[in-house]
Structure 1
Amino acid sequence: MIRTLALVCCLAALPASADPGTARFSDKLLSLTQGVFCEVESSESVEAPGTVAGRIELYDEVPEFQWLSTRVPAVLGLSFGIKTQTDGRLLQGVVITLTHPPFKDSGATEQRYVTSMGGTGVSINAYTFDLPEEMVQGTWTFTATQGGREIYKASFDVVSPLQEPEIAGSCGFAAIS
């Protein structure tokens, strides 16, 4: 079965490191880390009408970043995203907006969903390349807002697998350039 989307949101009690990458955020409210990881099997999904697939994937545990990087090779099954940990506050009604270059078939340039962040654990918002049409090169930006106030904004540069061969060849998935 093909998973059509792996936008991720989940909470778990794992520590976060503080590598800000390209992110803009308030370090008084949260710590933030950007990274890349090999696809992880989800435990369930929930409806998210503002996404291309209409759902987001949830995980029992926050996936570990294998690379603290903001450069992501366009490879099927590769995931990238942002881990955050608040100062203990639970932020509800957080809107995650992901903007990206136009998808090859649908032309989609934006996806959004509502989630919660924080509390006592680490939160992650991530994206997995599940379909060839999604693997468009350029700037991909995650923005988290609550009540119109920006919580964070973090960008990734999706590149040809040839530009990041170590990451592209590490997960056992097929690269499409």
Structure 2
Amino acid sequence: MRQCLLALPFLLASPAAAQVQLLEAGIVCPRTTKGELIEAPDTEVGAIRLIEGGVVFDLNARTVPTMSNLSFGFRIGLKESAPAQDVTIVVTHPPMGDRGVTRQSWGKSLLPGEAGLSIFTFEYDYEKVPGPWTFGVEIEGETAIEVPFQVTEEGGRGPVEAACFRFMS
């Protein structure tokens, strides 16, 4: 019976969800990012920035300190044989801002063989909300990928400072 129960989630996954894969996740050291702002009404500020290429994860950690301009998130893609797919990126977190927002989402089109980056950057103090955060991918309301992070006020600073500020002194 145990084997049947373990196999059940795989049998229930839609064919589209099975084509999306997590490529990497982690933390991006503070840096200036450029990119066009586009409308995203289901986010706290109503927009997201389409970041220009070249962003790499500096740490694959899941404990994220609340440091200004620190970013974290994931890179996803489609399996090579999959057709193009529209997905919804979902970020959940403790209540944030005046409205107490706990879920932010926006659409993304994935193309086979191309990676899609989704990160959150602590630009403002009100965004630095400690607690559990998740980055997820939904297809037609079904969760295809979910990656947990723990945002902390102090925890995780050592590895982040070592990776991000090693050349400064």
Normalised by the length of structure 1, the TM-score is 0.73
In structure 2, the partner of 1:71 is 63
1:53 is aligned to 2:45? yes
Runs of at least 5 residues in structure 2 that lack an aligned partner in the other structure? 1-16
- Judging by fraction of residues, say which structure has more helix: 2
Range 112-121 or range 83-92, more displaced = 83-92
Range 147-156 or range 45-54, more displaced = 147-156
User: SS at the partner of 2:45?
Assistant: coil
1:143 is aligned to 2:111? no
Q: Distance in 2 between matches of 1:56 and 1:90?
A: 25
- Displacement after TM superposition at 1:27 (Å): 7.5
User: SS at the partner of 1:124?
Assistant: strand
The 1:135–1:169 alpha-carbon spacing in structure 2 relative to 1, beyond 3 Å, is farther
Which of 79, 82, 99 aligns to 2:74? It is 82
- Pick the structure with greater CA Rg: 2
User: SS at the partner of 1:77?
Assistant: coil
Q: Distance in 1 between matches of 2:97 and 2:41?
A: 20
Check conservation: 1:36, 1:81, Cα contact below 8 A: yes
- Displacement after TM superposition at 1:31 (Å): 3.8
Which of 83, 94, 112 aligns to 2:105? It is 112
The 1:90–1:171 alpha-carbon spacing in structure 2 relative to 1, beyond 3 Å, is farther
Q: Distance in 2 between matches of 1:122 and 1:62?
A: 11
Q: Distance in 2 between matches of 1:129 and 1:55?
A: 15
User: SS at the partner of 2:160?
Assistant: helix
Range 71-80 or range 105-114, more displaced = 105-114
- Displacement after TM superposition at 1:83 (Å): 0.9
The 1:120–1:70 alpha-carbon spacing in structure 2 relative to 1, beyond 3 Å, is same
Runs of at least 5 residues in structure 1 that lack an aligned partner in the other structure? 1-25, 173-177
Report how many residues are paired.
147
Q: Distance in 2 between matches of 1:28 and 1:146?
A: 11
The 1:146–1:161 alpha-carbon spacing in structure 2 relative to 1, beyond 3 Å, is same
- Displacement after TM superposition at 1:168 (Å): 4.5
What one-letter code is carried by the residue in structure 1 that aligns with 2:107?
V
In structure 1, the partner of 2:35 is 43
In structure 2, the partner of 1:32 is 23
User: SS at the partner of 1:109?
Assistant: strand
Query: Superposition pairs for residues 96-111 of structure 1, below 5 Å?
Result: 96-103=89-96, 105-111=98-104
The 1:91–1:164 alpha-carbon spacing in structure 2 relative to 1, beyond 3 Å, is farther
With CA pairs under 8 Å and 6+ residues apart, which has the higher RCO, 1 or 2?
1
Normalised by the length of structure 2, the TM-score is 0.76
Range 129-138 or range 87-96, more displaced = 87-96
